Amino acid sequence: MTRTTTPTTTRRRTTRTTHTLLAAGLLAALPASLLAGPTGAAPAPAPAPAPAPAPATTGEAGRVAAVQRQVDRLVEKAGFPGATITVRGKDGKVRTYRAGAGDLRTGAPMPKDGRVRIASNTKMFTAVLVLQLVAEGDVELDARVEKYLPGFVRGPGGDGRRITVRQLLQQTSGLPDYDSIVIDGGDDLRSIAHTYFEPHELVDAALAERRQFAPGKGWAYSNTNYVLLGLLAQRVTGRPIGELVQRRIIAPLGLRDTYWPKAGEQRIRGTHPHGYHADEPGGEWHDLTRIDPSLGWAAGQLVSTPRDLGRFMAALLGGDLLPPAQLAAMKQTVEAPDFELDPAWRYGLGLARHTLPCGVPGWGHGGDIQGFETRNLATGDGRWAVVTVNALPTELSMLAAVGKAVEIAICRS
């Protein structure tokens, strides 16, 4: 999964998966040009073995062993520095399984429920916020973006007079991503990893590129959609997006380990694993824990823990965050063949759907950012699983292993 292409100003269609595989870049679905640069290599001593979960009762021993095998394989076979799988089973118990190193320099194990950058899982929070405003009558799903951001969306990349709020949420607007931010910044993230970006800069860069298709005539993952949704929410409410997410979602659910980083904040607060990046398959891991996440903003800025993320998904599907009409709208999906390696995925309004091997529909999102990848799904019967690895995949087999781990964790729970 090394970057094998040279970015140009010619717009090409890229996918959430190929962005990750080609670039090992900042956010799920950022262009291949957004290549994460190293900030200093760390030696890799043999990691201390992570403590095993508490002994299982006889009836659950097989299920526990199956999930532990998956997290072990993510390190021993897939090659990630460290990994955790946190699962809420049918019995309502939450169990965490871990393997590998949370710090390659010291060999410290992965923390049980450490804070990580959840990247594009932020889109679920942004979508919930916008749908709450819909429920309150402040936003109309099928209104044009122009109504809320007059004159703002204009350029080769798209026209707000033709794009609806629903199309932003569902990734059917045709808006491109903001490739030129990195092209102009030196062609990789080494020169801009610690640069703060204003949201309008991201939108301006995207609008300068060509649109991917006419609004409503296709599906393509673009972070620009969710940056615009964040700006829309701010315009409608008169309050900053971070405050809105905190007040309307994080605080009511009691997500004590989830937060919106302040402007310019590059560290991860509290207990957390280090995040790593390799320039090529089998390459040396470089520590990329500290970055400025403003390049993601409303599309990918949040920090959370596996347990908090699982609780958020359960609350969402359980109707604790949205009225029935808005939750039903969120779950109305379209084909999204490029969302993951499996082309059968479907995408709603910031919420993706995937039928698990055990026949159960799973709902969630996932995210990729420098140093971290998360894949997570929840089911209608209260089960959920969050898989976290502290590096981006560098080849297809690594990406597939993370997806498989989520499926097995839910199906065996």
Enter the CATH code of domain 16-54+63-411. Answer: 3.40.710.10
**pLDDT score of 57 more than 60:** no
Distance CA 255, CA 340 (A): 28
In this predicted model, what pLDDT tens digit does every residue of 223-233 receive, in sequence order? 999 999 999 99
184 or 153: whose pLDDT is higher?
Answer: 153
Instruction: Return the percentage of the chain with pLDDT > 90, whole number.
Output: 77
In this predicted model, what pLDDT tens digit does every residue of 68-95 receive, in sequence order? 999 999 999 999 999 999 999 999 999 9
Distance CA 139, CA 135 (A): 8
> According to the model, what pLDDT value does residue 39 have?
32
Q: Which of 31-40, 116-125, 233-242, 296-305 has the lowest mean pLDDT?
A: 31-40
* Averaged pLDDT for residues 261-276: 97
Q: Would you give the end-to-end CA distance of the chain in angstroms? A: 32
CB contact set of 395 (below 8 Å; sequence gap of 6+): 1, 21, 281
> According to the model, what pLDDT value does residue 306 have?
98
* Averaged pLDDT for residues 146-166: 98
**pLDDT score of 56 more than 60:** no
> According to the model, what pLDDT value does residue 102 have?
98
> According to the model, what pLDDT value does residue 267 have?
98
Q: Which of 46-50, 147-151, 245-249, 314-318 has the lowest mean pLDDT?
A: 46-50
> According to the model, what pLDDT value does residue 41 have?
38
**pLDDT score of 183 more than 70:** no
Helix, strand or coil, per DSSP, at residue 311: helix
> According to the model, what pLDDT value does residue 3 have?
27
Neighbours of 328 (CB within 10 A): 11
Is 135 within 8 Å of 141 (Cβ atoms)?
no
- Please choose, from the candidates 72, 82, 33, 313, the residue with its C-alpha nearest in 3D space to the C-alpha of residue 180: 33
Tell me the residue type at 198.
E
Neighbours of 291 (CB within 10 A): 24
In this predicted model, what pLDDT tens digit does every residue of 15-54 receive, in sequence order? 454 444 444 333 333 333 332 222 333 334 444 455 555 4
239 or 48: whose pLDDT is higher?
Answer: 239
* Averaged pLDDT for residues 347-375: 96
> According to the model, what pLDDT value does residue 257 have?
98
CB contact set of 213 (below 8 Å; sequence gap of 6+): 174, 220
> According to the model, what pLDDT value does residue 191 have?
67
Is 191 within 8 Å of 39 (Cβ atoms)?
no
393: exposed, middle or buried (Cβ count in 10 Å: 0-12, 13-18, 19+) = buried
**pLDDT score of 331 more than 80:** yes
* Mean model confidence pLDDT for the chain: 87
**pLDDT score of 187 more than 80:** no
333: exposed, middle or buried (Cβ count in 10 Å: 0-12, 13-18, 19+) = middle
The DSSP line for 251-307 is HHHT-TT-B-PPTT--S--SS----EE-SSTTPPPEE-----GGGTGGGT--EE-HH
* Averaged pLDDT for residues 315-344: 96
In this predicted model, what pLDDT tens digit does every residue of 377-395 receive, in sequence order? 999 999 999 999 999 999 9
> According to the model, what pLDDT value does residue 370 have?
87
Is 99 within 8 Å of 223 (Cβ atoms)?
no
**pLDDT score of 304 more than 90:** yes
170 or 182: whose pLDDT is higher?
Answer: 170
